Amino acid sequence: MIIIYEKGTNKFLGATTQVFDNGTWREATLEELYPNADRSKMGFVTVKDSIKYVMAWNEWEFKLDSKGVPVDVVRKSQPDRLNLETDAKDTDGDGMPELPADGKSKATINIDIKNPKGNLVKDETTILISTTAGALSDRRITTKTGKAKLTLTASHETVTATVTAKAEGMAEASLTFEFMPS
């Protein structure tokens, strides 16, 4: 299989498997695939035949040599991820844990940082936390263990509160609570 890219930008242009020509299998050429294109601006990488490169192209990237020229195709690395859990209970089954809207009820929020294999990340990581209602015990936590803990205190208003955690290079994670009449 060949993966075709644009020289300079390394933008994916296309892919093709071998062609059956006069009784034998062979790699297609750029001339055959792009007869009217400026092929001086195109390059290709030959990889072991696999449809996986074409079916989910956004999961793959070019491996570059020291000059920045593609030499192979490899799976993109996945970022570490944040996960939020709470000890507050969801008593009405709507997927949102509840706290009485009394200005003093608290929920513990546990944050885990895990790598794509599911292991805790032991690198120093700063987590920024915000909420749309209520009060947080911390808005910034630095961890070296892959775990962090904070407390959300309910407000007096009967509203939903979304707690959001962010860390550099990771998708944000959130947890929504309901502050219920007490």
pLDDT at 49 over 60: no
Q: How far apart (Å, rounded) are the C-alpha atoms in residues 88 and 70?
A: 50
Q: How far apart (Å, rounded) are the C-alpha atoms in residues 149 and 159?
A: 23
Average pLDDT over residues 150-161: 97
Asked if 53 and 44 count as a contact pair (C-beta separation under 8 A), the reply is: no
Average pLDDT over residues 9-31: 85
Last residue of a domain, one of 60, 75, 90: 75
* Same-domain status, 173 and 142: yes
User: Which is nearest to 162 in space by CA: 181, 173, 176?
Assistant: 176
> Is pTM beyond 0.85 here?
no
Tokens 């904070």 belong to residue: 150
Number of domains in the chain: 2
Query: What's the pLDDT score for residue 174?
Result: 97
Query: What's the pLDDT score for residue 50?
Result: 62
Query: What's the pLDDT score for residue 178?
Result: 97
* Same-domain status, 176 and 86: yes
Q: The domain that contains 130 carries what CATH number?
A: 2.60.40.10
* Same-domain status, 70 and 86: no
* Same-domain status, 93 and 8: no
* Same-domain status, 100 and 164: yes
Asked if 165 and 142 count as a contact pair (C-beta separation under 8 A), the reply is: no
* Same-domain status, 150 and 175: yes
Q: What are phi and psi of 54, to 5 degrees?
A: -90, -35
* Same-domain status, 10 and 71: yes
Query: What's the pLDDT score for residue 46?
Result: 80
Question: What percentage of residues in the chain have a pLDDT greater than 90?
Answer: 57
Q: Among 14-28, 80-94, 125-139, 156-170, which is the least confidently predicted range?
A: 14-28
User: Which is nearest to 136 in space by CA: 100, 106, 170?
Assistant: 106
> Mean pLDDT over all residues of the chain?
89
Largest CA distance in the chain: 81
Report the chain's C-alpha Rg in angstroms.
26
* Same-domain status, 102 and 175: yes
Average pLDDT over residues 41-46: 86
* Same-domain status, 38 and 99: no
Query: What's the pLDDT score for residue 17?
Result: 77
Average pLDDT over residues 134-143: 97
Report how far Cα 97 is from the mean position of its chain's Cα atoms.
Answer: 25
Q: How many CB atoms lie within 10 A of CB 118?
A: 8
Last residue of a domain, one of 51, 75, 99: 75
The model's pLDDT over 52-103, given as tens digits with 9 standing for 90+, comes to: 655 666 677 888 889 888 888 777 777 899 999 999 999 999 999 999 999 9
**What is the residue range of 49's domain?**
2-75
Tokens 């513990």 belong to residue: 108
Complete edge-to-edge strand list for the sheet that includes strand 42-46: 11-16, 2-6, 42-46
* Residue 25 banded pLDDT, cuts 50, 70, 90: confident
